[in-house]
Structure 1
Amino acid sequence: MKLFATRVWGMGFERIPIATFGMKGHVDRLLRLARRGDRVVFVGTQTDRTDEENRGKILGMAEIGFEPLKTLDLVGRADLDDRDFDAAGNFKFPHAVALTRAWRFEPAPLLIRTLSRQLAMVATSGVQEVEGPSDVAAILALQTIEIDLPTLPSLEAMRRMNDALRNTTGPRPGDAGYMVNPSTDGEAWTYGLQFGKRDVWKIGWATDVDVRCIEINQHIPVELGLEQWGVVLRQRMNSRNAAYDMEQRVLELLTSKRRGYERVHCSQKEIDSAWQQAFVDVIRGK
């Protein structure tokens, strides 16, 4: 899990479930560096915009939605501070990402007593990755209380999507997961198999992924010391048609990487990107 730190004015992230930025480039950079399940850590500024008791403290953290947003499309001016508008009435922080889950630290520790170094200036206007393993461990060891974020209808679908995509590497068919549309012919799974540790993948769908993997491996002469297929990605869908549609969308996105049947040759990063995009496209009916 990666952590990214940003400076904020107090506990506003508890009241409005978005993180705002003045430049689109800061949002683009965050979404380029982060993956599902990574978190943004909020640190109180040393300015009078932050309550004195919270200045310089690590206040909380949140998982984010993976879509750039416009702040004023989500909240009205009445919910914002007048100091966030310039003399011409322009909002200073028009770009945002959603907070899909959030936690406050109690007690909130001082940054300088928790991390090995201060944050760079980039954390004031954008985000800075917390790179040291000991610093990441120190933050994750802090006592947390999950925040019941305010509900914004426009963000609810994104929250469900984030929850679904956070865990694409292991739930068995009986576990909870994201369900796509009302069931028509029984749930099924889209799967991604990896051949050994190679960048070779097989994409398909099945009602039981583990049984399907066993069946596929029966055609490999393992007595020759050859590698086998292993399940790396799986996503539950609540109809076979939806599972098939996601399989086909993954293969379509990786057309240039296909080598035969449902096999593709590409990096882990490329397969992850296509997998997530295919899921998004299917649930949006594209």
Structure 2
Amino acid sequence: MRLFLTKVWGWDTPVGPLQFSTSGWRDNALRQLEDGDRVVLVGTEGDQTPDDMKGRLLGVMEPSRELVMSLDFDVRASPGDFVDSKYKWPLGLLNLCAWSLPQRPKLKKQISDRKFNMPAVRGVVPLNDNEAARVLALDWREEALMQPTAQAGARMAKRHGAAKRTAPPPTTKRRGVMHMRRAPAYTYAMRIVGARTSAFKIGWAFDFKQRARQFNHAAMPSLGGLEYKPFLYHLWDTARQAYAMEQALLAKLSDRVHGHNGEIVTDLSDEALEAAWRAAVTVP
């Protein structure tokens, strides 16, 4: 295991990815880092860094080689972190573990006499043996890692060919119900094929494709019944958000809701539904 150093504007927990401003700096870090290496985060001396973090060792990360986008995580960002609406450190490496350094020693004098320049601000710089020994002698406290959004997690799983996460098992216990509300879920709109007029089923589910199969199993389109075909869907981090969008969408389309089923809207064009959908996505 080797130790590297990078400069940051602060330290928050749970801990997000190791961030970089450009692919060049991230690639440079990947060329240096090996499995098991760790990166020490030191607060800059600039105005952007809180006074109690300036020039101090704040934490340690163990990055993987998994490429991620920084804003796929709920990183704590301020207006000064953006230029022309673009995040300054959009690229990252997923962390395997992270630790805070409660003692927060000063980098200068307490850890190193060297001057760390731009490579330490934009990328990572290896520590020498004496510097590494001083860091390893500090108290390390393991911290929770920030999880990617549901959409990012699904994208990463697809990239690696991993199995998609299924819905949580049914439960009637309050703790289990609360867990289900916090699980990723979809808001969906399904076209109802075979209806006398244009019709869509609006709802939410942990797996909208499975829900469509359930509807079609009951409707039996092969025998002349209605067929439910997924038309629009949006993955949310929690079932609460998916439900909130469902309700917002139905409220926007209240004049189109079927009299016998409050989750079906009729006499609606694809374009009208898509416009209401775009507006409802921003509601939760």
Instruction: Return the TM-score normalized by structure 1.
Output: 0.49
**Largest Rg, 1 or 2:** 2
Instruction: Return the TM-score normalized by structure 2.
Output: 0.50
